[in-house]
């Protein structure tokens, strides 16, 4: 059996791992760490919950500890980019735990926090910056930091960064980073655009993979329950009452619907909270802390929480509304069965969601076991109102999940659900209040990256 000591990590890091309760490395860590320690570029493919943060974080910190002197003012030695505030916070917390008792300085950069305070921290230099792309560009534009000495670049959850339209932001950031660097790209799924991204970003990379892309953790018991849209709230109540005291994560499709469902659960006596794009960063952090401390039993969230929530106590994931991007299903249910534990995921499927369910089952290459109801017929599907889309106006009438005739982003009721977002187009505004398309032109006086051209 391989141990962390076998991987040749610094004794100072080993002490931090012992305090954090780490006993043995996961498969992705065993495969990735030795190559990263040798300075090789890495493309890592592993499902969520398998320990990707430690896979790139530990060898990166090991190499930084060898430098032996603090960074210069405003200088960043390594950069880790992630798509959401929650994921950035999770990565930063883990790295901070690994480096306790060492001089390594980790700085967190996200939207929703004071840019002045972030500038103050960067003024002293940083060994590691963990950032969302939008806020990082804001700080680069203000010249609050320099990436001229950045020797390490990590792109975590690269597929979601593309889905969220960050490709233009990534290209702009790359213009500030020198060619001579070590690059690590980690992703849970492997669409064609990720292959293209890896071919542009990485130099002669080693590919490590512990499961087929898009495959969820095997310890998750998955199933589907067919139910009319208007019956979903009562069905959820039934499931929650079957497992009192066990934490559950419930995913909705829209901000309005998720908030409404949370308030309904609270009125029914559940200790519930919500996280979505209409919440401030302080509200989201407070709710996550309460859920992590088991002060809440139920957390209702949009896909803003599909990645970046690492709470071992989550035993149940309910897909109250099915995602219209099938890969998001894998990330959603990956919030349970963390760190080797077992978990359960139930998908609620209304007639109008049969298309989404088929896409999910195609990705999984297996049908979901049925634990309630029966697959909807063509007549049911045609008669059903279409589910609300992200960014849609809230429905005028109906239950907590957006029952009734939803209005699409174009204002036409019952319009066909949109397909997966295309990162080739204009970038969408991120959940962190991110950056739009950058201005044309290259920053003067900065070293140019190898992947500035599309």
Average pLDDT per consecutive 10 residues, the chain (454 residues; last block may be shorter): 83 83 86 94 81 92 91 96 89 91 93 92 96 95 96 90 83 90 86 77 88 62 95 97 93 94 97 89 87 93 74 89 89 74 90 95 92 91 72 44 39 42 42 40 40 32
Query: Using N-to-C axis directions, what is the helix angle for 326-333 and 354-364, rounded to 10°?
Result: 70
Residues 60, 148: Cα–Cα separation, whole Å = 18
* Termini Cα distance of the chain: 44
Judged by phi (left if over 0) then psi (alpha if -120 to 50, else beta), residue 39 lies in left
User: Are domains 5-209 and 220-383 of this chain identical in fold?
Assistant: yes
Residues 398, 100: Cα–Cα separation, whole Å = 51
Strand arrangement of the beta sheet that strand 152-155 belongs to? 106-109, 126-131, 76-81, 152-155, 182-187, 42-45, 206-209
Residues 105, 75: Cα–Cα separation, whole Å = 12
Place of tokens 């953790």: 217
For residues 203 and 276, is the Cβ–Cβ distance under 8 A?
no
Residues 327, 164: Cα–Cα separation, whole Å = 13
Place of tokens 């659900």: 417
- Residue 166's nearest CA partner among 145, 207, 135 is 135
**Do you know the residue count of the chain?**
454
Query: What's the pLDDT score for residue 338?
Result: 64
Backbone φ and ψ of 114, nearest 5°: -65, 115
Element (H, E) at 207: strand 206-209
Token pair, residue 181, equals 């660097």
Place of tokens 């599909």: 306
Would you identify the CATH topology of the domain 5-209? Rossmann fold (3.40.50)
Element (H, E) at 187: strand 182-187
Residues 35, 73: Cα–Cα separation, whole Å = 30
For residues 86 and 288, is the Cβ–Cβ distance under 8 A?
yes
Residues 351, 369: Cα–Cα separation, whole Å = 17
Which residue ranges make up each domain of the chain? 5-209, 220-383
* pLDDT 10s digits, 81-127: 998 888 898 899 999 989 888 999 999 999 888 999 999 999 999 99
For residues 345 and 234, is the Cβ–Cβ distance under 8 A?
no
Residues 167, 242: Cα–Cα separation, whole Å = 44
Residues 157, 189: Cα–Cα separation, whole Å = 9
* pLDDT 10s digits, 48-57: 667 889 999 9
For residues 11 and 101, is the Cβ–Cβ distance under 8 A?
no
Residues 421, 319: Cα–Cα separation, whole Å = 20
Element (H, E) at 299: strand 298-301
Place of tokens 């990707």: 52
Give Rg (Cα) of the chain: 22
Query: What's the pLDDT score for residue 192?
Result: 72
Query: What's the pLDDT score for residue 4?
Result: 86
Query: What's the pLDDT score for residue 454?
Result: 29
Beta-carbon count within 10 A of 234 CB: 12
Domain range 220-383, CATH architecture: 3-Layer(aba) Sandwich (3.40)
SS3 106: strand
Query: What's the pLDDT score for residue 388?
Result: 61
Q: pTM of the prediction?
A: 0.66
| 418-438 core/surface letters (b: 16 or more CB in 10 A; e: else) | eeebebeeebbebbbbbbeeb
CA 404 to chain centre: 31
SS3 237: helix
């Amino acid at each position: 059996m391989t141990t962390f000591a076998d991987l040749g990590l610094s004794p100072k890091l080993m002490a931090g791992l012992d305090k954090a309760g780490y006993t043995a490395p996961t498969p992705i860590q065993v495969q990735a760490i030795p190559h990263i320690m040798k300075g090789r570029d890495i493309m890592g493919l592993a499902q969520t919950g398998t320990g990707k943060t430690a896979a790139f974080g530990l060898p990166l910190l090991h190499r930084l500890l060898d430098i032996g002197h603090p960074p210069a003012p405003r200088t960043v030695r390594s950069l880790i980019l992630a798509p959401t505030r929650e994921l950035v916070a999770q990565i930063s917390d883990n790295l901070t735990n690994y480096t306790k008792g060492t001089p390594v300085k980790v700085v967190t950069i996200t939207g929703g926090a004071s840019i002045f305070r972030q500038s103050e921290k960067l003024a002293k230099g940083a060994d590691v910056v963990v950032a969302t792309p939008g806020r990082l560009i804001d700080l680069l534009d203000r010249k609050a930091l320099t990436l001229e000495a950045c020797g390490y670049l990590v792109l975590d959850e690269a597929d979601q960064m593309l889905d969220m339209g960050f490709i233009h932001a990534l290209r702009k950031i790359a213009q500030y980073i020198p060619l001579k660097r070590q690059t690590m790209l980690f992703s849970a799924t492997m669409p064609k655009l990720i292959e293209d991204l890896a071919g542009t970003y990485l130099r002669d990379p080693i590919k490590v993979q512990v499961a087929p892309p898009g495959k969820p953790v095997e310890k998750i018991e998955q199933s589907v329950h067919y139910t009319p849209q208007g019956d979903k709230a009562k069905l959820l109540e039934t499931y929650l009452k079957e497992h009192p005291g066990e934490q559950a994560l419930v995913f909705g499709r829209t901000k309005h619907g998720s908030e409404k469902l949370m308030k309904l659960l609270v009125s029914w006596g559940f200790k519930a909270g919500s996280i979505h794009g209409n919440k401030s960063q302080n509200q989201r952090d407070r709710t996550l802390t309460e859920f992590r401390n088991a002060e809440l039993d139920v957390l209702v969230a949009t896909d803003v929480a599909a990645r970046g929530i690492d709470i071992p106590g989550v035993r149940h994931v309910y897909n109250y509304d099915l995602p219209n991007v099938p890969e998001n299903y894998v990330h959603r249910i990956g919030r349970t069965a963390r760190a080797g534990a077992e978990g359960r995921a139930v998908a609620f499927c209304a007639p109008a969601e049969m298309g989404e369910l088929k896409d999910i089952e195609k990705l999984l290459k297996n049908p979901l076991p049925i634990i309630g109801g029966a697959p909807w017929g063509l007549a049911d599907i045609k008669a059903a109102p279409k589910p609300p889309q992200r960014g849609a106006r809230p429905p005028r009438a109906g239950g907590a999940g957006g029952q009734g005739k939803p209005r699409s982003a174009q204002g036409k009721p019952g319009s066909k659900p949109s397909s997966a977002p295309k990162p080739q187009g204009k970038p969408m505004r991120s959940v962190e209040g991110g950056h739009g398309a950058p201005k044309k032109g290259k920053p003067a006086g900065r070293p140019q990256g190898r992947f500035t051209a599309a």
